[in-house]
Structure 1
Amino acid sequence: MKRMIRIGLWSLTGVCVLAAGVVLVGVLAGERKGARIVSVPVVSLAYRDDAQALARGKYLYESRGCMDCHGASGKGRVFIDDPGGLYVRAPNLTSGSAVIGRYREADWVRAIRHGVAPSGRALMVMPSEDYNRLSDDDLGALVAYVRSLPPLPGEVAEVRLPWMVRALYGFGLVKDAAEKIDHGLPPARPMTATVSPEYGAYVANACLGCHGAGLRGGKIPGAPPDWPPAADLTPAGSAMARYDAPEKFVGMMRSGLRPDGSPVSRVMPFDSFGRMDDVDLGALYLHLKALPAQSASR
């Protein structure tokens, strides 16, 4: 009996050592991966600073999720501080930051559209897939507004990943911002804001980071383990079945409550998305209702 126990203990020890070795290999691979230089095609934009462009940029900043991470003033904030060890602080975007204050026009495009820092390293936590398809006009307006923010003191970006997440990153199961993007895609063509499925598809780019490229939902990659999965927004899912009229969908996006009064996911950025105007939300509704049926979630 004692012999069997010893064999079991040695086997367990061997499994633990092997698992620790696998994690260490993944962590080291992740460090090499994070240090790589990502070369992306970057074309500088001609930034307008007229009142119309600044107003459009402010609207995009407040309604497309930028404010959720960087704060209304742009000085940055901690938006994930998970007991499991995941910690993310978004950087100060104002010219009061020694880092952002040195940004050139091309650096803004590289970071927002491609998820790559001016140094050439990939940004770890930046939903650039949501902004990659912004038209040049909208991206220029967004950057113009951010650059117009009053300079404020604030912290630089800080991302702390648990060992297991670092290992998963090394093995490619967790991706950084640059990995999630097809950098060869051209920006979206300029679009007139109308309540149409076509314009709704443009608005829906803001949903890609959580709901996936096909908006089929599922576990949000790299999110804290206690975050609920993103809803499947295609006809195969049950989420959009609750909204048989655009007014119900708009009401949910503004209040965070379903038609029956129950709350939607606590991680949905309603403070931002609820600021979308009636045209954007109406178009988004039409696009989601027109999505092709999918049979499997992410």
Structure 2
Amino acid sequence: MNRWLKRGAWLVVILLLGLGALVAAGLLLGEQRAARRLDIMVAPVALRSDAAAIERGAYLYGSRGCVDCHGANGAGATLADDGKGLKLAWPNLTTGSPRMAAYQAVDWVRSIRHGVGTDGRALRLMPSEDYNRLTDADLASLVAYVRQFPAQTGREQGIIQLPLPGRVMYGLGKIPEAAMKIDHSLPPSTPVAEGVSVEHGAYIAQMCVGCHRVGLRGGNIVGAPPDWPAAARLAPGEGSVMPLYQSADVFLAMMRSGKREDGSTIAVMPFSSLKTMNDTDLRALHLYLKQLTAS
């Protein structure tokens, strides 16, 4: 009996040592990952300041999720602070930040399209996979709107505080930044006419890949808080939710209300932004998703 107890004790010790080594390795690798520099070739985009660009940029800022993270006035917002070690807060984008006041055209493109800061480090909070394929015109319009914000006080840098398991997972590559997932060689999308078309819907759907993944297959949202549900499958296949939304009107009602047709609430989706999308964009998105399901 004593022999088995000793063996069990040694096994526990070995497991604890192995776990400790894994944690230490994850923390060390995390520091190295956060400090690494990325050499990204940035294609220039001419910035704009005309009224039409600002109007379009205001629509994009509100409907594509920017407002959720950076606030209605661009001063930044806190999205998570559970008091248990998790805190995620986004930075001030206005000229009240000396860092942002110094931003040049290339810096905006690098940050939005590629998820990389002026120092070459990956912007860990920036979901650039959703914005990587923006047309040059839309990117320029989005920047035009942000640049016209009155100066605000706010944090210079985003805040990323993860509990120990999250820090280890980051170090082990389980929570990759957008900059590590993007194909930086892809050109911006070719502009298509706005309308209820599959082509325009495909362009709109690019904003969904950060959560619903490339191919819109759904699954666990990388880097999300542990209590978040998995993103729904929008692509064809077992478990796809699109059969619930054969009608465009039902789909629009869900996107505007955050509720399914049966009245149940859909968790986590950024409905505060999505509900501001115009009917053309939403109907085009529905048409695109519906033809994916039917293919």
Give the one of 233, 248, 251 matched to 1:249.
Answer: 251
Instruction: Indicate the SS of the match to 1:112.
Output: helix
1:183 and 2:184 are equivalent in the alignment? yes
The C-alpha deviation readout for 1:65-92, integer Å capped at 9, x for no partner, is 0001111111001102235522110001
The C-alpha deviation readout for 1:262-296, integer Å capped at 9, x for no partner, is 1112x1000001100000000000010111579xx
Instruction: Indicate the SS of the match to 1:186.
Output: coil
Aligned 8 A contact 1:76 1:89 in 2? yes
Aligned 8 A contact 1:113 1:133 in 2? yes
Root-mean-square deviation (CA, aligned residues, Å) is 1.4
1:168 and 2:178 are equivalent in the alignment? no
Runs (5+) with no aligned partner, structure 2? none
Match for residue 62 of structure 2?
Answer: 62
Aligned residues, how many? 293
Match for residue 241 of structure 2?
Answer: 239
Paired with 1:86 and 1:63, the residues of 2 have a C-alpha distance of 26
Match for residue 192 of structure 1?
Answer: 193
Q: Give the aligned residue type for 1:114.
A: H
Give the one of 261, 264, 273 matched to 2:263.
Answer: 261
Aligned 8 A contact 1:234 1:293 in 2? no
1:215 and 2:224 are equivalent in the alignment? no
- What's the CA shift for 1:20? 1.0
| Mapping of residues 57-206 of structure 1, within 5 Å | 57-156=57-156, 157-206=158-207
Q: Give the aligned residue type for 1:288.
A: L
Which region of structure 1 is more displaced relative to structure 2, 40-49 or 274-283? Answer: 40-49
Aligned 8 A contact 1:82 1:224 in 2? no
Aligned 8 A contact 1:96 1:152 in 2? yes
Match for residue 20 of structure 2?
Answer: 20
Match for residue 276 of structure 2?
Answer: 275
Which region of structure 1 is more displaced relative to structure 2, 151-160 or 274-283? Answer: 151-160
The C-alpha deviation readout for 1:180-206, integer Å capped at 9, x for no partner, is 100000000122211011100100111
Match for residue 43 of structure 1?
Answer: 43
- What's the CA shift for 1:168? 2.0
Aligned 8 A contact 1:69 1:78 in 2? yes
Q: Give the aligned residue type for 2:247.
A: A
Which TM-score applies when normalising by structure 1? 0.95
Paired with 1:238 and 1:34, the residues of 2 have a C-alpha distance of 36
Instruction: Indicate the SS of the match to 1:189.
Output: coil
Instruction: Indicate the SS of the match to 2:108.
Output: helix
Instruction: Indicate the SS of the match to 1:159.
Output: strand
Aligned 8 A contact 2:242 2:293 in 1? no
Paired with 2:84 and 2:283, the residues of 1 have a C-alpha distance of 39
Paired with 1:141 and 1:22, the residues of 2 have a C-alpha distance of 46
Aligned 8 A contact 2:192 2:199 in 1? no
Match for residue 31 of structure 1?
Answer: 31
Paired with 1:16 and 1:32, the residues of 2 have a C-alpha distance of 24
Question: What fraction of aligned residue pairs are identical, expressed as a percent?
Answer: 52
List structure 1 runs of 4+ shifted beyond 3 angstroms: none
